Amino acid sequence: MVEKGKTAPDFELPGDDGKSVRLSKLKGGIVVLYFYPKDDTSGCTREAKDFTELAPRFKKAGAEVFGISPDSVASHDKFRCKHDLSVRLLSDEEKKVATAYGVWVEKSMYGRTYMGVERSTFVIDAKGKIAQVWRKVSVPGHAEEVLAAVKALKA
């Protein structure tokens, strides 16, 4: 289980812009990874819009924000364009990164169990360590809370 103070699991994933992102190449800056279940659903859209709205403030605080879901690169591109999102979206179709971060979990709805992404966010410091973790995220106000944690790292 990924937890505060531990080294963040490295990964390389394709982004919605066709360029891959390797976490270890981002050392020296703060990275925000937010895992979400599915493109273009109500909660996921709200979360992506909230992070997009605060993107300039994250950048000013020295942080890059990435959304990660099992959706395809094509799905991410369509989602980003439809909602004018500025955060980069990474495709984890094989669910390897979600598994490494402990967010690919058994869920249940209406008595049916299935595997899915538990909405979670991780802040990774400039040294590649997990600085903050949120699991089972409730979307309203979450992006602001993450921004406050990023600013606290810089203080």
Q: Answer for the pair 72, 13: CB distance below 8 angstroms, yes or no.
A: no
- CA distance between the termini of the chain: 28
Q: Give me the DSSP letters along 64-125.
A: EEEEEESS-HHHHHHHHHHHT--SEEEE-TT-HHHHHTT-EEEEEETTEEEEEEPPEEEEE-
Query: 44 catalytic, yes or no?
Result: yes
Catalytic, out of 13, 44, 146, 149: 44
Give the contacts of 137 (CB within 8 A, at least 6 positions apart). 34, 47, 119, 120, 121
Catalytic sites, residue numbers: 44
